[in-house]
Structure 1
């Protein structure tokens, strides 16, 4: 039923970071935080076994997308009774020097959606940390999640009416 009502589109923008550009100053190295888009050696998601940074970035983005799609609790979204529309959640987090996901923040139109996004992203598995100049560093990552809530079909409308009568 959820698949008929909701279509989740996870858009991983590994090349984009909130308020960050490709031009990164040396201060990122001293702060021990480097944007995902420019890290020399990206963090490695479990089961991503590739040689190049580009392949590792693509694998990581795919794996994070799959994880979020699989673990996002759609019943919480359905309970909000939101009108059909496209909804966006912007999630930011850091993969620290040990490969843990920390500092998860989300911004969405509804606090319940923010909380669910934070819950799911906080449960990402530990990764191999990213490296800059041969040393482990924190890697900043942003993840936009886009929901498309579709209007109920005629059959779903009839089912809801029957439930209300009972």
Structure 2
């Protein structure tokens, strides 16, 4: 259905009237807006803070009348009785003999030097760790080696070979041990080249005793030296062995 326009509706003829009416309304609104007076209201609130006076405590003044007199001071101590002794005693003075001698004095007895006895003081032996000693102990069979590091290696190899050969690993089987076990052995190679002061630490007392037994099998060595003197050298090694379960 087509919408048709009304032939009598002529909006274009009223456009000027609408424009003028609108312009009048805008100008009136502008004028009213300019002439309008806004009254400001004071929205602030006045707070009054009152600080109370500090409470002051009045301490009454008291005065003691008729105070008792202070006690009298104690009397001075009585003087000690001094006894005066008359100085009429004869005191014998000791005669101090002179110790000075001269060439004319006669020597009554001459002690020969051979008759003088003296005791030699025992010199304390120095303890030096194995890694810093100047001359390491020489294990039998390592005498031909002159290099210090090679001598250390030779001694270590000899002691490790001794433990690998002599240590009784059947003790671990008797104790039903499995896995890796480590026993720490420490001793001193004294100034005579002998093994002394053996100490062991391990997982079982029987293993410690076996490690000590093997340490006693180490032969006598040439002692280590520090500044050209024989010294006691500390040495330690770990003994490690593996116990496998029997199949």
1: CA distance between counterparts of 2:245 and 2:172?
A: 14
Aligned length: 123
Cα RMSD after superposing both structures: 1.2
Q: Is the 8 A contact 2:173 2:243 kept in 1?
A: no
| Match of residue 181 from structure 2 | 87
| Match of residue 65 from structure 1 | 160
User: TM-score scaled by structure 1?
Assistant: 0.71
1: CA distance between counterparts of 2:129 and 2:217?
A: 21
2: CA distance between counterparts of 1:130 and 1:59?
A: 14
2: CA distance between counterparts of 1:133 and 1:77?
A: 44
Deviation at 1:77, TM superposition (A): 2.3
| Match of residue 149 from structure 2 | 54
Higher helix share: 1
Instruction: Give structure 1 regions of 4+ aligned residues with deviation exceeding 2 angstroms.
Output: none
- Secondary structure of 1:55's partner? helix
Q: Which structure's relative contact order is higher, taking Cα pairs within 8 Å and 6+ residues apart? A: 1
Matches within 5 A, 1:139-158: 139-152=233-246, 157=247
Matches within 5 A, 1:1-166: 32-48=126-142, 49-82=144-177, 84-152=178-246, 157=247
2: CA distance between counterparts of 1:103 and 1:47?
A: 24
Deviation at 1:151, TM superposition (A): 2.7
1: CA distance between counterparts of 2:138 and 2:150?
A: 10
Q: Is the 8 A contact 2:172 2:243 kept in 1?
A: no
Deviation at 1:148, TM superposition (A): 1.4
Deviation at 1:31, TM superposition (A): 5.5
User: TM-score scaled by structure 2?
Assistant: 0.48
- Secondary structure of 1:141's partner? strand
Q: Is the 8 A contact 2:127 2:231 kept in 1?
A: yes
2: CA distance between counterparts of 1:77 and 1:127?
A: 31
Q: Which has the larger radius of gyration?
A: 2
Deviation at 1:75, TM superposition (A): 2.0
Q: Is the 8 A contact 2:125 2:191 kept in 1?
A: no
2: CA distance between counterparts of 1:128 and 1:31?
A: 16
- Structure 1 segments unaligned to the other structure (5+ residues): 1-29, 158-166
- Structure 2 segments unaligned to the other structure (5+ residues): 1-123
